[in-house]
Amino acid sequence: MESGGLKPMDAEQLRENAHKMVDFIADYYKSIENFPVLSQVQPGYLHNLIPDSAPHHPESLQNILNDIQEKILPGVTHWQSPNYFAYYPSNSSVAGFLGEMLSAGLNIVGFSWITSPAATELEMIVLDWLAKLLKLPEDFLSTGQGGGVIQGTASEAVLVVLLAARDKALKRVGKNSLEKLVVYASDQTHSALQKACQIGGIHPQNFRVLKTDSSTNYSLSPDSLAEAISRDLTIGLIPFFLCATIGTTSSTAVDPLLALGNIAKSNGMWFHVDAAYAGSACICPEYRQYIDGVEEADSFNMNAHKWFLTNFDCSALWVKDRNTLIQSLSTNPEFLKNKASQANMVVDYKDWQIPLGRRFRSLKLWMVLRLYGLENLQGYIRNHIQLAKHFEGLVAQDLRFEVVTPRIFSLVCFRLLPPHNDEDHGNKLNHKLLDDINSTGKIFISHTVLSGKYILRFAVGAPLTEWRHVNAAWEVMQDKASALLARLSIE
């Protein structure tokens, strides 16, 4: 390293440069509403702006920050913008940021207890805290046979429990029965389950996607599940895994956990509950009812990085029997052996996940829970739900639109009604409306399809969103709808 340049690590250089970076990030948040929410660049834009090889000599941080401002930020879709209403939120917060900063600063690789005892033990404690806030059954606490673990995403969570369930089933029915194992879910279940089945070797023809419709508000019918299981048993297949969802991606449908769990239990199946989005709301007593029946589940997952002020990534997974995960995922090479692990005195989270290495993610969640506290977190959730309720009311007042499914949490599903009830044209109309809205850069929303209809989704959940942003977003939608309908009447 050249003298006078940036050293690999130096406390004072870190202090100086980190101050500059924090200032840059704080200024970004102060000006975030000035950016188009959805990036307006074209594919390949950055190749024309960045050199095609790395620099031979060091550059200044200021030059890099200038490049970020001029070249990178135009290609960013601003998930933390108060005008971001697409998909589901991915929360950032002061507390979450501080925890992320500390995790990066310590930069431990906590795959086993001995590699950083605090990382393992804090994760156990904090996930017990969160389980208690959600009033999960005691079986999910680390004090018993179960416990919690932070995965990167809900996709990783459903994969590891599927693998555990598969191996548990094969141990019972014989290792040559893989081709007979059947997985069940609704057509509203996240596509992560399909990917987990592909990785886990479940035969594609044995992945049962059960149809839902508006009669159950797109939740999974217990009767439909029972019939599917009965048919499969009749032809000699082995039902082994059921995934229910609390707050589906398309419309926040809530599957009936108690009834589904009873069916799963009577058939010896693993019952997984995916509450990636809506689980956060269940810290509020008035929304806890939506996970009634979770006592029947073998595993439960919620994403703290969606709607719980914890920076990505932080997906909390609880299991009732941690040994099923460990038996499926553990390895014990010589170079990782140590006294504490060999004596079974500790938890080694490497055996609860796909990768070996893992970050000190519990710091973020610990910071969020301590710096905000339950009262403020509940208020945060309730405020977003009130904003969504307000938006739902605005849509209902405009007879050109309809609310498609009942709003439960902070997502509103709606659409522009086609003139003359021309349903064939309705999907194209709403597709065009979505493009017109998002091309303004003022807001960003996304879509889904329910019962063959193209639906617009308005998901409230960004930390900076206020009433004025919801009202302004609705004005954009009304203006674009008026212009679109006017063009149609001319044509």
DSSP 329-350: H----GGG--HHHHTT-S--GG
pTM: 0.95
**Residue 331 to residue 39: CA distance in whole angstroms:** 43
Element holding 149 (H helix, E strand): strand 147-151
Q: What is the pLDDT of residue 491?
A: 61
Q: Are 307 and 281 in contact (CB under 8 A)?
A: yes
- How many residues make up the chain in this entry? 491
Q: Under DSSP, is residue 108 helix (H, G, I), strand (E, B) or coil?
A: coil
Q: What is the pLDDT of residue 490?
A: 66
Residue with tokens 């690999």, as numbered in its chain: 8
Q: Are 288 and 134 in contact (CB under 8 A)?
A: yes
Q: What is the pLDDT of residue 419?
A: 87
Q: What does each C-alpha distance from 479 to 395, 436, 440, 474, 485 come to in angstroms?
A: 13, 10, 11, 9, 10
Q: What is the pLDDT of residue 488?
A: 82
Q: Are 405 and 450 in contact (CB under 8 A)?
A: yes
* Amino acid (1-letter code) at residue 255: D
Q: Under DSSP, is residue 181 helix (H, G, I), strand (E, B) or coil?
A: strand
Q: Which residues pair with 270 in a beta bridge?
A: 241
Q: What does each C-alpha distance from 179 to 153, 205, 414 come to in angstroms?
A: 28, 9, 41
Q: What is the pLDDT of residue 3?
A: 54
Q: Are 243 and 184 in contact (CB under 8 A)?
A: yes
Q: For the chain, state the CA radius of gyration.
A: 25
Segments of the chain with pLDDT less than 50? none
Q: What is the pLDDT of residue 9?
A: 94
* Amino acid (1-letter code) at residue 178: L
Assess whether the previous peptide bond of 167 is cis (omega < 30° from 0). Answer: no
First-to-last C-alpha distance (Å) of the chain = 68
**Residue 96 to residue 109: CA distance in whole angstroms:** 19
- Looking at residue 246, the DSSP 8-state letter turns out to be B
